[in-house]
Amino acid sequence: MTKFTFAFERLLGHEGGYANIKGDRGGETYRGIARHYHPAWPGWQIVDEAKRLPNFPKSLEQDARLQSLVADFYKVEFWDKIAGDKISSQVIANELFDCAVNMDVADAVRILQKSVNALRSPESPPLSEDAVIGPKTIEVLNSWLSQSALHPAVASNALLSVMLVLRGTRYVNIVERSSSQKQFAYGWFRRIFRHSEIDGEC
């Protein structure tokens, strides 16, 4: 089964350190954790204290407790909520996890469900696109990955491709609705390009 540590280390390759960019809806962020959306995260106390000391924000990387809080946050708020440990493909778990972090859990799960439906045979009943990662979604996902006529690695790659297309479409819709978000478009699409490379075990 899949491993959180692998997905988390991969995620950190996309999430920067400390940032406070004008126009970012999340406001002040650290390792992708947005203060506007997660004001109660205990790591903010450490960040605020570090602001008064020399070498900020580089000093944050040396704080072991802060880094532990970052990992705990992503495990509880995203990995557990997408049932990452129950997904049979590390590749798909990586993408679902990253998509949930960059968008939200519900949107990421709906993209997964739509992608599975796009690839399943016409004879199979469609998976409900309810944005809930319940037992049925996990069962259908893992069953398709293992029982597909494709090799598991090929099946994961095919599903990943559809998920990335739908994810990219979502980004296009965002920038079309709000020109202020165009400044983030390059980073979003670069993230997709990086996730198009298979680097996990299926």
Chain segment 105-131, per-residue pLDDT in tens: 999 999 999 999 999 888 888 899 999
Please give the model's pTM, rounded to 2 decimal places. Answer: 0.84
* Residue 180 pLDDT: 74
* Residue 200 pLDDT: 44
CB distance 84 to 96 below 8 Å: yes
Q: Which two tokens stand for residue 196?
A: 């198009």
183 in helix, strand or coil? helix
User: Low-confidence residues of the chain, pLDDT below 70?
Assistant: 1-2, 183-186, 188-189, 195-202
Q: Could you please report the per-residue DSSP string of 77-144?
A: IIIGGGTGGG-S-HHHHHHHHHHHHHS-HHHHHHHHHHHHHHHS-TTSPPPP-SS---HHHHHHHHHH
Cβ-in-10-Å burial (0-12, 13-18, 19+) of 100 comes to: buried
* Residue 202 pLDDT: 39
Q: What is the DSSP letter of 30?
A: E
